[in-house]
Amino acid sequence: MQVFNSIKEIQQWSLQNKKQGKTIGLVPTMGYLHNGHLSLVREARKQCDIVIVSIFVNPIQFGVNEDFDEYPRDIQRDQLRLEAEKADAIFAPAIKEMYPGGYNTYVEVLGEIPGKLCGSRRPGHFRGVTTVVSKLFNICLPDKAFFGQKDAQQALIVEKMVKELNFPLEIVRVPIVREEDGLAMSSRNVYLDHEQRHEALILWQALQKAQESIRSGETNVETVRRQIKQMIVACPQAQIDYIEIYNASDLADLQKIRGQVLIALAVKFGSTRLIDNLIVEV
């Protein structure tokens, strides 16, 4: 497995691979890899000849009061995990390689999708994501890029950007990977203390309960949101950021629950903000 820090070098390497007719799969990550990331790598391994994993904690997608400095990093451990998964290359640039002095170009998707959920709570976050992802696409030249369903809104926004800016690649969405007890895997789970880790299970429990309720005929958005809220507020450390139910393909508001709906949650346990979601087909 090769490790690249230079944009020029990985771009040349990708070009050479493409000239030889090889397909490239890119898994963009911020590192501190867990099994959720590795499931993206495995999917890329199945679908493409060459697998590149980018590891870059992207400063421009963090707000001023967010956890950029504390975000967990362990490149050596990541490297071992990726070797075991037979990834072909890691791209781990320094911040100044991606954003040299005077950097001033950004890519932003506007409209309803980025204006909801995390987009309305984290100003500038998705502009940071779409900017870095566009750069990674231009640098690594993937035929396919793999994104986790855990960040459902991010996947929708990146899909829209790829379509509207005509990037010549396909976005592949990979299902959420959960711990045995149901907690969605996230690099931020390491911040949780024992009690918060236990309370955080309520997210998956509430999502399942909501699914049950919808499947047994409940079509009222407010009723389902209230049911979820009741379960979460029973946890002493939980502070709800949002509980939302939208159309799964475009985050449009719903008069009634029908079709494919996305139930999305963001809840803080102590200072750790977790997100989770479930798509329910009615």
Active site residues: 37
> Per-residue b/e over 53-75, b at no fewer than 16 CB within 10 Å?
bbbbbbebbbeeeeeeeebeeee
Question: Considering the rule CB under 6 A, would residue 243 count as an interface residue with ligand PAF?
Answer: no
What SS3 state is found at 25? strand
Strand order in the sheet with 260-269: 238-247, 260-269, 272-281
Question: Considering the rule CB under 6 A, would residue 30 count as an interface residue with ligand PAF?
Answer: yes
For the chain, the first-to-last Cα distance in angstroms comes to 45
Contact range with ligand PAF by CB under 6 A, out of 28-36, 39-47, 97-105, 178-186: 28-36
Q: Count residues contacting ligand PAF (CB under 6 A)?
A: 10
Contact range with ligand PAF by CB under 6 A, out of 25-33, 106-114, 115-123, 271-279: 25-33
- Please, what is the minimum distance in Å from the beta carbon of residue 57 to ligand PAF? 8
Element (H, E) at 56: none
Whichever of 28 and 93 has its CB closer to ligand PAF, that residue is 28
Residues in contact with ligand PAF, shown as a per-residue x/- string from 43 to 82 under the rule CB under 6 A:
---------------x--x---------------------
CA separation for the pair 34, 37 (Å, rounded): 6
Question: Considering the rule CB under 6 A, would residue 29 count as an interface residue with ligand PAF?
Answer: yes
**Residues 180, 185, 191: CA angle, nearest 5 degrees:** 110
- Please, what is the minimum distance in Å from the beta carbon of residue 158 to ligand PAF? 7
Contact range with ligand PAF by CB under 6 A, out of 1-9, 26-34, 70-78, 189-197: 26-34
Whichever of 20 and 105 has its CB closer to ligand PAF, that residue is 105
Contact range with ligand PAF by CB under 6 A, out of 23-31, 74-82, 218-226, 240-248: 23-31
Q: Figure out which of the listed residues 53, 132, 156, 177 binds ligand PAF, where binding follows CB under 6 A.
A: 132
CA separation for the pair 25, 40 (Å, rounded): 10
- The residues near 112 (Cβ < 8 Å, ≥ 6 apart) are 250, 251, 252
Supply 249's token pair: 């393909």
Task: Report 251-280 residues binding ligand PAF (CB under 6 A).
Answer: none
Question: Which one, of 193, 182, 190, lies nearest residue 270 by Cα?
Answer: 193
Task: Report 140-199 residues binding ligand PAF (CB under 6 A).
Answer: 151, 154
* DSSP string for residues in 104-127: -------SHHHHSHHHHHSTTHHH
Contact positions toward ligand PAF, by CB under 6 A? 28-30, 58, 61, 129, 132-133, 151, 154
